[in-house]
Amino acid sequence: MPKQGQPYRVIISGGGTGGHIYPAVAIANELRTVNPATEILFVGAQGRMEMTRVPEAGYKIVGLWISGLQRRLTLDNLSFPFKVISSVRASHKIIKEFKPDAVVGVGGYASGPLLYAATSKGIPALIQEQNSYAGITNKVLAKRVQKVCVAYPNMEAFFPADKLVLTGNPVRADIMNLAGKRQEALQHFGLSAEKKTILVIGGSLGARTINLSMAAGLESIAAAGYQLIWQTGKAFYPQAQELESKYKQQGIRAFDFIRQMDLAYAAADVVISRAGALSISELCLAGKPAVLVPSPNVAEDHQTKNAMALVQQQAAILVRDVEANEKLVPTALQLAKDEQEQQRLQQNIRKMARPNAASDIVTELLKLIK
């Protein structure tokens, strides 16, 4: 524990996708808001997205040699035990040198070895679970940490009830403050103020089904007089660029990755999105009418569970992945036309927002240190 007046030292570990990284950065930013002198070190997995995204957010990161277990027999699986041993050793070294007052795990490969090493040394630890279905790393770590901050109620099936705190998911602060940004947003994307805009986000790595559905429906979107901001992910981007050049005049804009998501939300009248936990938390705070297409390629179909939490409150529309090709674009166009339905969805989704998530998590963390 720091001496009186000394800044706290905190390690935040995890990553793999934007769904883990952005909450981690939001927690770090909140720690700095509480005390600008707080020293923060991130620990991620070598070669994963966090190794570039975290430095872009202004924080130092160290990478561990770690990856997940594949479901089929691969060379990676054979090296997995060696990676775990190597990463736990490296984590002990990082902890010895950095001397953290507390550690935070946000899920993803790297948080396992780091939090294992920290808790074996008696360092206070907290994990944050973004989804309505807990990830394997967090389920294993829950026995070792003092607090588990969750985004959904009824998580006792995965975690000890006495450790649970319902905080919601922390999101980037700029998304909470979209008022007055619409004009700037339309200019940023080179779009017209006369037309309605549909925003498509398939998650930080893109979503193949959504991309193929959008590609097939571009003509009907342009013909109906709507504009499009389309985040495709890296793999589909070359294809989307070709399509964009055909429809540039009609306001179709494709991006492999959108950094200024606040402007993307500010420009959007309707959003098409995967149902990852972070995307849903952002949609609630942005208060946008949404068509959700849950990814079927996730553990225990947790994105469908995330989406249903909104659909049951009449706060979003669901299109299943298998039906997307046929139904996604017509459903989005129908919603873009129906202003009454947009307002209803907006009112209901805003009720589900948890704007103080980062602050509530940091409060729990500081209690552990004190």
Residue 209 among known ligand-binding residues: no
Cβ neighbours of residue 166 under 8 Å, at least 6 residues apart?
A: 150, 151, 152, 153
CA–CA dist 93, 361 (Å, integer): 27
Residue 18 among known ligand-binding residues: yes
Residue 325 among known ligand-binding residues: no
Annotate 256-308 with three-state secondary structure.
CCCCCHHHHHHHCCEEEECCCHHHHHHHHHHCCCEEECCCCCCHHHHHHHHHH
**Contact between residue 117 and residue 128 where contact means Cβ atoms under 8 Å apart:** no
DSSP string, 314-349: T--EE--GGGHHHHHHHHHHHHHH-HHHHHHHHHHH
CA distances in angstroms from 218 to 223, 240, 250, 254, 256, listed in the order given? 8, 10, 10, 11, 17
Query: In this structure, what token pair is assigned to residue 5?
Result: 């007046």
Residue 303 among known ligand-binding residues: yes
**Contact between residue 47 and residue 58 where contact means Cβ atoms under 8 Å apart:** no
Residue 48 among known ligand-binding residues: no
Query: In this structure, what token pair is assigned to residue 102?
Result: 């507390």
Cβ neighbours of residue 344 under 8 Å, at least 6 residues apart?
A: 314
Residue 348 among known ligand-binding residues: no
Binding-site entries: 17-19, 131, 172, 204, 258, 303
Binding-site entries for UDP-N-acetyl-alpha-D-glucosamine: 17-19, 131, 172, 204, 258, 303
